[in-house]
A and B are shown apart, each in its own frame.
Chain A
Amino acid sequence: MKKLALAVSLALAAGVAHAQTINIAGFGAKTGPVRSFGVNSHAALLAAADVINKAGGVKLADGSKAKMAVEFYDDRCDAAEGISVIRRIAGTNALVAVGPTCSNVAEPLFGILQKKVGDAGDSGLQFPVFTDVAIKVGLAKISEWAFRNVPNEMTMYNSLFYWLHTQHPEMKTVYAGVEEDFAHSRATWYIVMKPRAEASGFNVLGNTKWLLADTNFATQVREMKKANADIVAISAHPFSTCGVLKEMQRQGVKPKLLVGLTSSSSLETLQGCAKQAEGIIIPTSFAPINKEAVAAAQTTAKFKGAADLHSMAAWENMFILKNVMESEGISGKPGDLQADRRKVRDGLAKLKTTKGLMGVTKRDAEREADKPYLFVHAKKGEWKVLYNPL
């Protein structure tokens, strides 16, 4: 009996000592002015891994279970750094990378991945990247190793301007303020908001421009005042959005409605200028409106992160990856690393839908997501749901 107990203990100990780990690399801006995005993504990845591991972990091809381990790398929202980071990650035993934060990193980074899977003449990196934050339209089509779980801004702003047009038929004109030197904000106005506003029947009177780190918006707001549009669309991130809104307050510019950029539906905007941002409407793919979303937000908060449309995409990515790994039957053995990476890539490519915190997300042939969304507005220092088309 004693020998049996000893044998069982040794077997258990051996099992524990050899517990497998699936390594997931996260990467994004952990330093620099957009550090909050990286902090929140990292927290969401750790929180999701914690939940998955507590439920037993990831089931491998041989039936055993492996824990998910997350290591986060800092790309400083810099393209060269991002490329260096992904090459470094590819040299580790990470199966897949979740990131980056910035669209100006994602675009060149996807460019160094192998364009077409199986193309022997293409020496690009063969490593799956599953983006949570970088949101500039149409990037995943650059490489078949790139996948994104970011909201489709074209769909959201199309819906938003159409809804605004039906809700407020008396409003005819739109004028925009655009943060010119950030890939996301610039592309979102020119490629998304402007054409969608025009398609919904609004007359776009023009736009004014500033840079991300600008502090003086007097000239731009005067142009806004002259335009006297019914709706002012601000395609900018929180710092300059707050700067412009404060200048608008000083100059007495009060449009009937304000529309903001998706990335500004965050705590940063409310911390910087809650009073001036009162009423600004922004489409988003996350709000804590159901039990799952609330639980995800609370768990992420335990890891010192805030839940928003970007960080919750990272949370969703972990669960999607878990399901893909299990359905594709990854082995988790060091010798099968590249084969497992290929399985993850192929598994992600096969997906037609995924389960998100707001509901079912559709996936298209260009490896982009079509996520459920709703419209929020800033009300008394909080983001409240204005309209839920779900």
Chain B
Amino acid sequence: MEPVPRNLKILTGITIVLFLTALYMVFIYAPREAIMGDVQRVFYFHVAAGWVGALAFLVTAIAGGVYLAKREPKWDRLAESSVEIGVVFTLINISSGSIWARPIWNTWWTWDPRLVTATIMLLLYFAYLMLRQGIEDPDRRARFGSVYGIAAFISVPVTFLSIRLFRTIHPVVIGSSDPAAEGAFDMTARMVQALMFSVLTFTFVYATLLRYRIRLGRGTEEVEKRKMELISL
């Protein structure tokens, strides 16, 4: 495998520094919320993880479209890599939300529109990864993945808009919450800064992981190609 490029090493270093700074901002810089207490701090990485999930699935949809137009394997590699990371971060988003909800809503889970749509989104993209494994032919797999990735993307705006369109107890961070929402709070300037910095940090985490995952995908394809060549000898 070719050595890790210098720019990727630099990106990794920057990401680690940003992550450590984000942890400082979340635990030390941002104040303790007046009613919810410390559990509110989960919100910073919860929102940031949700952002990365949505971004990752958007990249998948775009990459899928470009693959269908150009039929170049690198776009399919990008789409698959991005979905994998998106699934991981959506899982982080849902599980951290559940842990926050326990003391605030007095339940780990409720059939709230936001929770349900986010879980459906997670399952849709998890299915993408599983179904791809079942297709042998690389071109067919890539075409399936592209169409699926574009179609599944509808779940992303539905999830985002669910708290604005439906009656929900999930708080709205930007804008005003439904009167039934529980756990809404007014953010101080420091909280806003911690949130924005967490979102920025997670974007860098996504970009770094994506670069590594694409390298892995490229390496796997090379190995598969060499295996086929060896078999044919």
Q: Do A and B come from one complex?
A: no
